Amino acid sequence: MDQFATRKTLLDRLRETKINDPAWNDFYDSYGALILSVALKSGLSHADADDILQQTCEKVHKSIKKFDYDPSKGRFRSWLCLIVKQRIADHYRKLKKFPPLPSPLNENPEGPYVEIEDPVDDFQKIFDKEYTEHIQYCGKMCLKKKIRPDHYEIFNAYVIE
């Protein structure tokens, strides 16, 4: 099994444990940096991104028992993405801070129609891109632990850079 795919055993352990259990440490190690990165790329400060990470973990904790993991129906990370997206939207809603509208708007009915972009439309793409980068980083760190440092430097210089 791909070590970076969602482990059903981890989800089962999360369902059966309290928030301070080692299973939640595994969850945080697997997804914490991803959630933080997505929150930061959404324009939040580090402090606010940390809050989003905490709120996301709390929401997952409250909802994981109801989550039915079936890879044929969808991915765990899509569900997680939705939770992160909701937490970020809630944060902006509380601040009453919304993205600026393009100018000029459709003020002239005879003029060209101006489409207002919805920044949330691309959220799944942003999350998936961050997930891919996160998986690549985790893979490099895993490799770095398994091989000699000089071999890793050669690999990094030749393959990565």
Could you give the percent of the chain with pLDDT greater than 90?
12
Q: Where is average pLDDT lowest: 14-18, 33-37, 85-89, 131-135?
A: 14-18
Mean pLDDT, range 156-160, rounded to an integer = 81
Round the average pLDDT of the chain to a whole number and report it.
78
Structure tokens belonging to residue 106: 């459709």
Q: Please report the pLDDT score of residue 47 as a whole number.
A: 94
Pick the closest to residue 77 from 5, 1, 2 (CA basis).
5
Q: Please report the pLDDT score of residue 135 as a whole number.
A: 82
CB 40 within 8 A of CB 49: yes
Percent of the chain that is helix, strand, coil (3-state, to 5): 65, 0, 35
Top-confidence residue, 143 or 2: 143
